[in-house]
Amino acid sequence: MPTLSLLPVEIVLHIFSFHALREELSGIDDQPLSTCTVFSITQVGRRWRQIALNFPPLWNRILLYNTSVTTELLARSQSAPIVVHASSLSRTSGLPSKLESLTLVLQDPRWLQELVIRGIEGENISIP
């Protein structure tokens, strides 16, 4: 019986690429992490985890849930250009944590491919 574990790495990567974070999240970062298939992929087995964690394009959409998630994604995306969407900054209860995460991203020396900030119109928010 054929299984995915026997497929060549390049095919597995092709399959995984459809679950890259930038594909799964359509503009907002407020979805629960559990809805992102790519996180489940790393829990399936050793080979899947090894392949996924060594494929930076899966992870270069940097989420700002909190600093530990942001730090982990910056590490996994390695040298890939990163994409950041900071949404609903003025309303969420986790605003300080998101701003702290955003600061981490802005301090990263890599090329920022895309930065979208929404939801701060009419309010003053300072980024430390």
What is the rounded CA–CA span in Å between residue 13 and residue 78?
16
Residues whose CB is less than 8 angstroms from the CB of residue 61 and which lie 6 or more positions away in sequence, other chains included: 20, 21, 22, 25, 73, 82, 83, 84, 85
- Minimum distance, C-beta of residue 84 to another protein, in the bound complex (Å): 15
Cβ atoms 113, 82 nearer than 8 A: yes
What is the rounded CA–CA span in Å between residue 26 and residue 113?
16
> Can you give the binding site for another protein, defined by CB under 8 A?
1-5, 7-8, 10-11, 14-19, 33, 35, 37, 39-49, 63, 65-66, 68-69, 72-73
- Minimum distance, C-beta of residue 68 to another protein, in the bound complex (Å): 7
- Minimum distance, C-beta of residue 35 to another protein, in the bound complex (Å): 7
42 vs 103, beta carbon nearer another protein: 42
16 vs 122, beta carbon nearer another protein: 16
The three-state secondary structure class of 116 is: strand
40 vs 113, beta carbon nearer another protein: 40
71 vs 103, beta carbon nearer another protein: 71
